[in-house]
Amino acid sequence: MKNSETYAVEVAGVKRELRLFEIKPGVRIAILNILGDTELVNAVTRELAPKISAQQPQVLVTAETKSIPLAHALSEQLNNMPYVVLRKTYKPYMGDALQSETLSITTGAEQTLYLDEKDRGLVSGKKVVIIDDVISTGSTLQGMRLIMNKAGAQIVGEAAIFTEGDRASWSNIIALGHLPVWVDSNS
């Protein structure tokens, strides 16, 4: 298979060709990269915002990096609702940060998510919706849940542009579409 293979999607009235990427031998996923794609971010935000608003959150939570534009646009659409970004690298200014481990499907490596000490008070005792661009294995989602539980937040919803893989696993996720995973039968 060539690296230039793509998978066509249409979401919120916007069409894109997503490049297929081999994450391990014989297994490929379609890569959604919303960084710099203002048209797509704005379109999906218009569709996701009312669904998220129905959960009555007080704060949005996402992990860096690719879903930050989505969290920002949703914040604006939801009357400047605050949002928190869980970081993947600890910096000394983050103080007594909460952390959890996760496994990235795109890098195949363990990652650590950190909640900056300054943001702990923003989520503690608050209703939050967790935001991601694509939910695939659920590892990042689980890492975000663990940190929110440690921080004393109440998770009232989880949202993404797409879910991926086993569709039945994501029935509780607010999403606009679903992406397949390609497994070569020869692997």
Q: Is residue 23 part of a domain?
A: no
Residue ranges making up the domain that contains 77: 34-178
The pLDDT of residue 2: 46
Task: Identify each DSSP E strand in the chain by its residue range.
Answer: 6-11, 14-24, 27-31, 59-63, 83-86, 98-103, 110-115, 127-135, 154-164, 174-179, 181-183
Q: Would residue 24 count as lying in a domain? A: no
Residue 12 lies in a domain: no
Instruction: Indicate the number of domains in the chain.
Output: 1
Helix-, strand-, coil-residue percentages of the chain, each rounded to 5: 30, 40, 35
Residues β-bridged to residue 83: 60
Residue 118 domain-assigned? yes
pLDDT in tens, 70-86: 999 999 999 999 999 99
pLDDT score at 111: 86
Given a cut of 70, the residues of the chain with pLDDT beneath it are 1-3, 103-108, 187
Give the pLDDT score at 1: 40
Does the residue 15 lie in any domain? no
CATH code of the domain containing 86: 3.40.50.2020
- pLDDT computed for residue 185 by the predictor: 77
DSSP reduced 3-state for 36? coil
